[in-house]
Amino acid sequence: MKLSEVKNVLNGLETISFQLPSGELVPSHFHVTEVGKVSKHFIDCGGTVRKEEVVNFQLWNADDYDHRLHPEKLVNIIELSEKILGIEDLEIEVEYQASTIGKYGLDFNGSSFLLTSKQTDCLAKDQCGIPGAEPAVETVAETSSSCCGPNSTCC
C-alpha cells in the first residue's frame, strides 16, 4: 500500500485498527511512534547494486489503555512527515514489536489495516543458477560460474 492510499483510507475512517497476519488485532491503545523514510543502498549476492525506499510506520503499545489514535491525527502526523522529511508517495512498511521487531507490508480489507507477511528472497537468482530468474541489470563483477558454488563469495 502506498502512502497516498493510506491517507485516503484514513480520511474515511472513524477508528483505526491493525490486524496481524495471525488474525489477532493490535491493541487499540497502540501508538504510531515513528513515521519516516527508510533508504537501503546495498549489493546483492550477485553483485547488483540496488536501492530501496519505503515509508516506515512504527507501532508500539504502552500501558496507557485510554489512548486511542484517531484517523485525522495520523493523517496530520503523515502530512507533517511528508513536509519536514520530504517523503514521497512510497510503499508502506510497518514495524511492530512482538517477541522481536517484525516488519510487515500493509493492506486494507475495508475495515482494518492488514499487516501482511514479508519474506526474504535471493535477488540474484540468475547469478546463483536458480531456474526462472531474470538477468541482473547492473552488476559490479561478472562471473563465469554460479556465484553460489562451494568456492564462491556470495550466499
Q: How confident is the model at residue 139 (pLDDT cuts 50, 70, 90)?
A: very low
What average pLDDT does this structure show over 34-39?
96
Residue 22 has pLDDT above 60, yes or no: yes
What one-letter code names the amino acid at 6? Answer: V
- How does DSSP assign 67-116, residue by residue? ----HHHHHHHHHHHHHHH---S-BEEEEEESSSEEEEEEEE-SSSEEEE
Q: At what angle do helices 71-85 and 3-10 cross, to 10 degrees?
A: 150
Residue 126's pLDDT is 85
